Amino acid sequence: MNENTKLFYQQISAWCGPGFLITFVVLWGLIGHNLPAPPSPALNAHDLAQRYAETNAGVRAGFILSLISVVLYLPWTALLTTQMARIEGNYPVMSMLQLLGGGLTVMVVSFSAFFWVAAAFRPERDPSEIQMLNDLGWLCIDLQYACTTLQMFAMALVGLADKSRHPLFPRWFCFLTIWCGASFLPASLTGVLKTGPFAWDGLFSYYFPYFCWLCWYAIASYYMSREVAGRARPSVAAEPAVGLAIGAGQ
Maximum C-alpha span of the chain: 65
Alpha carbon distance 88, 90 (integer Å):
6
Band (pLDDT 50/70/90 cuts) for residue 242 is very low
Whole-number percent of the chain with pLDDT over 70: 93
Is the pLDDT at 237 greater than 50? The verdict is no
Band (pLDDT 50/70/90 cuts) for residue 248 is very low
- The pLDDT tens digits of the residues spanning 140-182 come to 999 999 999 999 999 999 999 999 999 999 999 999 999 999 9
Is the pLDDT at 103 greater than 70? The verdict is yes
- The pLDDT tens digits of the residues spanning 47-57 come to 999 999 999 99
- The pLDDT tens digits of the residues spanning 131-143 come to 999 999 999 999 9
Band (pLDDT 50/70/90 cuts) for residue 244 is very low
Band (pLDDT 50/70/90 cuts) for residue 233 is confident
Q: What is the pLDDT of residue 3?
A: 86
Q: What is the pLDDT of residue 52?
A: 96
Q: What is the pLDDT of residue 234?
A: 65
Q: What is the pLDDT of residue 14?
A: 96
Closest CA to 147 of 106, 179, 176: 106
* Alpha carbon 220 to its chain's center: 12
Tell me the three-class secondary structure of the chain, residue by residue: CCHHHHHHHHHHHHHHHHHHHHHHHHHHHHHCCCCCCCCCCCCCHHHHHHHHHHCHHHHHHHHHHHHHHHHHHHHHHHHHHHHHHHHHCCCCHHHHHHHHHHHHHHHHHHHHHHHHHHHHHCCCCCHHHHHHHHHHHHHHHHHCCHHHHHHHHHHHHHHHCCCCCCCCCCHHHHHHHHHHHHCCHHHHHHHCCCCCCCCCCCHHHHHHHHHHHHHHHHHHHHHHHHHHHHHHCCCCCCCCCCCCCCCCCC
